[in-house]
Amino acid sequence: MPLFRLALILWLFLSPAMAADNLLQQADEQFQAISTYATTLRSYGESEQIITYRYKKPGYVRMDFVKPHKGAALVYRPDTGKVQLRPFGFSKSLTLTMKPTAKLVRSPTGRRVDKSDIGVLLKNAQQLAQFGSLNVLREETVRHNDMVVLEITGKEAFLVDGVHRYLLWLDKRLKLPRIVESYDNDNQLIEGLFLDDLSINLNFAEIFSL
C-alpha cells in the first residue's frame, strides 16, 4: 500500500478522535482563562431544579434557588471551606453554616457545591476520556446557540464521580458546555443540565456571603 494512501487512511481514522480531544482541551483552557461566570441552571431527569448560579475563582459559589425552595440561598467560600445556607428567603436572620459534605447542601444526585463548577466537570470528563473513548457525535443549534456534541464513555465499568458516560454540548462561541447529560453504567440518565444565559468575566459585587 502506498505510503500516502496509508497516511490518508490513518488521518481519516484518527481525526474525529483528535478533533474531540482538541475541543475538550479547548474548553478546559477557556475555563482556566476566565475569572467568573454566571448562569441559570435548569436540571431535568429524576429531579427538576432552577438555580441562579454564580462562580468566582478560586472557587466561590453562590446559588439562589428558584425551584424548588424559592428564595433559599447558598454560598460556598473556599477561604473558610464552609457553606452558608439561608433556607427561607423571607427570614434572612436564619443562616446555617456547615461543611460542603453535609447532605443538606448536596444536590438530589449527591453533587457537592464545592465541586459543582464547570472546571470540575471538564476535569471529570477528561479523566473519563483517559480511561475510555471520546467522540464528536454531531453539530446542532439549540436555543439559537451553535453547539458541538461530544460523547465521553468510560471503558467497561469505569466511573468518575459515579458517571460512566457524559454527553456535552459545547458552545462553539464560548467554547464551554451549555448542556450536560450524565449516565450510569446501565446507561440510565443520572441528570441533565441546561446552562442558560451563560456569561463570563463578570464583575460581581460582594455577593459571596449571606
Say if residues 163 and 2 touch (Cβ distance below 8 Å). Answer: no
Q: Residue 48 contacts by C-beta under 8 Å, 6 or more apart in sequence?
A: 42, 67
- In-domain check, residue 190: yes
In this predicted structure, the answer to whether residue 187 has a pLDDT above a threshold of 60 is yes
Q: Is the pLDDT of residue 2 over 80?
A: no
Confidence (pLDDT) at 13: 43
In a domain? residue 9: no
Cell of 123: 476535569
What is the number of other CB atoms lying within 10 angstroms of the CB of residue 7?
Answer: 10
Could you tell me what percent of the chain has a pLDDT over 70?
90
Grid coordinates given for 54: 454564580
Range of the domain at 29: 17-200
Residue whose cell numbers read 454560598: 75
Give backbone dihedrals phi and psi of 14, rounded to 5 degrees, phi first: -90, -25
Q: Indicate whether 1 belongs to any domain.
A: no
Residue 19 has pLDDT above 90, yes or no: no
Given the C-alpha cell 461566570, which residue does it identify? 37
The number of CA neighbours under 13 Å toward the Cβ of 169 is: 17
pLDDT over 60 at 127, yes or no? yes
* Position 165 in a domain: yes
Q: Is residue 106 part of a domain?
A: yes
Q: How many whole angstroms separate alpha carbon 193 and alpha carbon 11? A: 34
Mean pLDDT of 7-25: 60
Phi/psi for 69 (5° steps) reads 55, 45
Classify residue 210: in a domain, yes or no.
Answer: no
Element (H, E) at 144: none
Q: Is residue 78 assigned to a domain? A: yes
Q: Establish how many alpha carbons lie within 13 A of residue 129's alpha carbon, considering only the half-sphere containing its beta carbon.
A: 23
Asked if residue 205 is part of any domain, the answer here is no
Residues in the chain: 210
Q: Is 2 helix (H, G, I), strand (E, B) or coil?
A: coil
φ/ψ region of 153 (left if φ > 0, alpha if ψ in -120 to 50, else beta) reads beta
Asked if pLDDT for residue 12 goes beyond 60, the answer is no
What CATH number is attached to the domain comprising 119? Answer: 2.50.20.10
Domain count, the chain: 1
Residue 91, classified by CB atoms within 10 Å of its CB into exposed (0-12), middle (13-18) or buried (19+), is exposed
Q: Supply the pLDDT for residue 90.
A: 62
C-alpha grid cell for residue 151?
Answer: 460523547
Q: Kindly tell me if the per-residue pLDDT of 17 is higher than 60.
A: no
pLDDT value of residue 205: 84
Per-residue pLDDT of 48-99, as tens digits, reads: 999 999 999 999 999 999 998 899 999 999 999 999 999 987 667 789 999 9
Q: Which pLDDT band holds residue 7 (cuts at 50, 70, 90)? A: very low
Cell of 69: 425552595
Residue 3 has pLDDT above 60, yes or no: no
Q: What is the pLDDT of residue 35?
A: 97
